[in-house]
Amino acid sequence: MIRAAPAFAGLAGMAAATLHYAGALKTSPLLARAPLDITLLALAALLPLLALMLAGGGWRLGRGIALPALAAAGLWLWWVVAGAWAPNGQAAIEKLAPLVLMGPLMLLAGLLVGADPTARRLLVAAVIGIGLLVAAALAWGLATDSVQLGGRGPEDLQRVRVQYQLAGLAMASGAILAVLRCVEARGTRARLFWLALSLPLMGGVFLPGGRAALLVLGAGVALVPAFRLWVARRPAAALGWLALVGLAGAAALAVVALDPERAERLRTLDRLMGDPGSAPEARLQLWSAAWRLAEPFGLGPGGFPQAAGFGVNPGMYPHNHALEAVAEGGFPGLLLWLGAFGGGLALLLAGAWRLEAGRAARILALVLPMAITVMVSTDLTNRMAWFALGLALSVAVERLDV
């Protein structure tokens, strides 16, 4: 065996981060108008780097990875089989193509990048950098009126349309990792540096309007550092961190309550407080329809929108991975989804105690945003979900020097 240079692993980590958050990077006016698609560029860079990492050898798989990996493979296979009874052939093809082609690739990328120390370190650094870039681009765009927040009014061809869910998710992920570094840092100067770095990322989450990103930010900032301290066998410090975050959150809500106009200037709070009923009601309707239309063997890939009365609109998916699995894949689909994603999360939480605390906390920081997102948004074709699953499974993989 030959040992792949650490440079290849580091480049793979940065390429994976770029591919993972390509949708958020396109919110930058400069990248949005680039002649080449950043998604394709990142994918073209990542593929040979993954091949070089595999060729380098030194991979050791733990037994715990078998069940979720087999469940994921079974889920891809079952969705292909279920395409035989899908009500709309074209919709089934559009659903299967990204699921079956990108799903395995992104899972492999998460598995290798999460297990290799150099790749993981560069992945974390790139995620923080991407979050800062998105925050700066969004703030500049709003100040110069050159961006248009997604979901607000008709399309404006003169301005860059921001997909606020993806932008908020990128900034929230970067903020969680920066706060984790702040907790880990030794010395006042280092802690102040990481705290100062996390503040614009956390503030940026309040700008675009993504309520799921706000939930991700709150949960991640509270849970990930506490998890890091708990795994390091410092339970008192973990509980103290949770109490500190709770008090800080309550103080922030009090400030907003004293000045309601502040919420109107922050799109996320404006959507959260100004129109609190519409999104939850829409989600509940989709979730209820998905469960009501569930059949033993499912509706077939892409079959939910048509069965629920939305025609062939691919955007009207259930917005919940588990309910989408049972609606379109039936009970076999749900069991396979639980085995893959539920098994991956269980493996991460159970395997964390055998890992170095920093590695376990970084994997959780990268996985948690998507773990929350798949339960309130997105669908099975989202490559970010499969990359996160690969990262979760990477806790059972070791990269050895050979």
Per residue in 189-242, pLDDT tens?
999 999 999 999 998 888 876 788 889 999 999 999 999 999 999 999 999 999
**What band does 2 get if pLDDT is binned at 50, 70 and 90?**
very low
- Identify any residues that bridge with 61 across adjacent strands, giving them in sequence order: 397
- Domain ranges in the chain are 6-399
User: Residue 254: is its pLDDT beyond 90?
Assistant: no
User: Residue 3: is its pLDDT beyond 70?
Assistant: no
What is the pLDDT at residue 116?
Answer: 94
- Identify any residues that bridge with 147 across adjacent strands, giving them in sequence order: 160
What is the pLDDT at residue 209?
Answer: 62
> By C-alpha distance, which of 400, 397, 388, 386 is closest to 355?
397
pTM: 0.91
Q: Say which residue, 277 or 48, is predicted with more confidence.
A: 48
Beta-carbon contacts of 285 under 8 Å, excluding residues fewer than 6 positions away, are none
Q: Whole-angstrom Cα distance, residue 167 to residue 28?
A: 10
> Mean of the pLDDT values across residues 39-47?
94
User: Residue 154: is its pLDDT beyond 60?
Assistant: no
**What band does 1 get if pLDDT is binned at 50, 70 and 90?**
very low
CA distances from 254 to 248, 259, 262, 263, 275 (A): 10, 9, 12, 12, 19
What is the pLDDT at residue 385?
Answer: 95
Half-sphere exposure in the Cβ direction for 187 (13 Å, CA): 3
Bridge-based pairing state of the strands 147-149 and 160-162? parallel
Q: Say which residue, 282 or 123, is predicted with more confidence.
A: 123
